[in-house]
């Protein structure tokens, strides 16, 4: 994370200037080497940990008065626990290698105005008894700030830490994801992937972003952007690079001549029409041992209303046989192929993308997966979701 957060936030800067050993780990503000007394009346050091509420690269007032603590439960100088701050005890995994054994609660009447007030309040409560036994100890240790790792994001992702799922989110951090096709569904897939910490997002599409695309894609294109008629990959990279640093745009249609562009990825979303090119892409992914999700959306206008089916088909190294038994069409359409219909609306494109993203996260262990289905369909009429090809 950039050190700008400390220079732009007066409360964080004050903490460092006063000698507190402060670090940022993911969505956590960590105060290291806080002295405390354990139950054996020994002076030890632990770490105070708070979630961070941010507006860009500037802190907001803390969103909770609770902190976590990595160490044994702090005690008074006589070895009795400081029960006034007791909240919870357990094994807390807070993400980015940050763990804790306890959480504490000490809430002022008006809450904490900033992180300097919050962190120093807890540091004083915990370290006070230690100073009784060893007057020279202090949480103000004046350590040199560490060089902090660069994030894949241009600003901190704080949503995961607020709800305690940072460790789960980290399961996606090593991913290199390809999105093949940036039409209605593929663009929504990008919207969701770009909000995860994957290391790389490769975009593949040779089409131009035109007016009809703007009405079934996330965000809102300006009239000036539409007049420029950019390539889809360039337009979407410009939008999502505001958040995510790892986006690479390839304005090509993947086929046998360039399918090597997929080498090095760890997962793929295939959001393109059926045909020979899709078969080539899938064969390449299977050769590379890469898991993927293929999506399909087919709607028909009958008797004045739309009806149809959304499809999500997953393929992993552990299960691929169903792909070549008709679950994915390579025919390129036809009168009997529902998915060849080009009727698309943004809400169903988004839903198809959501189902694909959920399946990806299931495969990576982010979501619980009891059935381990590799093929699912959603039918608009009847609101019916079916799972098949379970492993």
DSSP result, 143-181: PPPPPPPPPSBSS---HHHHTT-HHHHGGGTT-EEEEE-
pLDDT of residue 334: 45
pTM: 0.75
| pLDDT single digits (tens) 309-356 | 999 999 999 999 999 888 998 875 544 455 455 567 899 999 999 999
| pLDDT single digits (tens) 13-25 | 999 999 999 998 8
Backbone angles phi, psi at 362, to 5 degrees: -65, -45
Helices 184-193 and 232-240 meet at what angle, rounded to 10?
30
CB 360 within 8 A of CB 367: no
| Closest listed residue to residue 298, CA positions, set 182, 181, 184, 214 | 184
3 state DSSP class of 348: helix
- Tell me which of 3.40.50.720, 3.30.530.20, 3.90.380.10, 3.40.640.10 is the CATH number of domain 174-390: 3.40.50.720
232 Cα distance to chain centroid: 23
All residues at 6 or more sequence positions from 56 whose CB lies less than 8 Å from its CB, including other chains: 155
**Is 80 exceeded by the pLDDT of residue 4?**
no
Domain residue limits, the chain: 4-151, 174-390
């Amino acid at each position: 994370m950039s050190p700008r957060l400390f220079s732009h936030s007066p409360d964080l800067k004050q903490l460092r200037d006063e000698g507190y050993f402060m670090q940022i780990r993911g969505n956590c503000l960590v105060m290291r080497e806080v002295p405390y007394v354990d139950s054996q009346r020994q002076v030890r050091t632990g770490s105070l940990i708070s979630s961070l509420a941010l507006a860009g690269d500037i802190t907001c007032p803390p969103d909770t008065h609770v902190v976590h603590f990595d160490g044994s439960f702090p005690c008074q100088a006589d070895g009795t626990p400081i029960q006034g701050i007791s909240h919870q005890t357990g094994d807390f995994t807070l993400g980015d290698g940050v763990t804790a054994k306890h959480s504490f609660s000490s809430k002022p009447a008006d809450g904490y105005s900033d992180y300097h007030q919050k962190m120093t309040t807890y540091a004083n409560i915990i370290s006070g008894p230690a100073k009784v036994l060893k007057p020279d100890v202090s949480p103000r240790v004046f350590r040199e700030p560490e060089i902090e790792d660069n994030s894949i994001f241009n600003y901190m992702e704080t949503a995961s830490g607020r709800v305690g799922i940072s460790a789960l989110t980290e399961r996606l951090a090593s991913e290199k994801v390809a999105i093949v096709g940036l039409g209605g569904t593929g663009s929504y897939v990008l919207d969701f992937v770009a909000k995860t910490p994957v290391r790389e997002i490769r975009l593949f599409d040779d089409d131009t972003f035109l007016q009809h695309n703007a009405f079934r894609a996330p965000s809102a294109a300006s009239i000036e952007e539409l007049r420029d008629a950019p390539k889809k990959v360039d337009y979407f990279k410009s939008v999502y690079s505001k958040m995510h640093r790892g986006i690479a745009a390839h304005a090509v249609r993947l086929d046998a001549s360039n399918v090597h562009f997929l080498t090095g990825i760890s997962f793929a979303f295939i959001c393109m029409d059926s045909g020979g090119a899709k078969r080539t892409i899938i064969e390449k992914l299977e050769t590379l041992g890469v898991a993927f999700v293929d999506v399909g959306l087919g709607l028909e206008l009958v008797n004045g209303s739309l009806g149809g089916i959304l499809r999500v088909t997953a393929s992993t190294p552990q299960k691929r046989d169903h792909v070549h038994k008709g679950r994915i069409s390579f025919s390129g359409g036809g009168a009997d192929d529902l998915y060849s219909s080009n009727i698309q609306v943004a809400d169903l494109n988004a839903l198809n993308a959501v189902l694909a993203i959920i399946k990806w996260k299931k495969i990576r262990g982010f979501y619980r997966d009891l059935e381990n289905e590799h093929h699912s369909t959603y039918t608009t009429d009847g609101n019916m979701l079916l799972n098949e090809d379970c492993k």
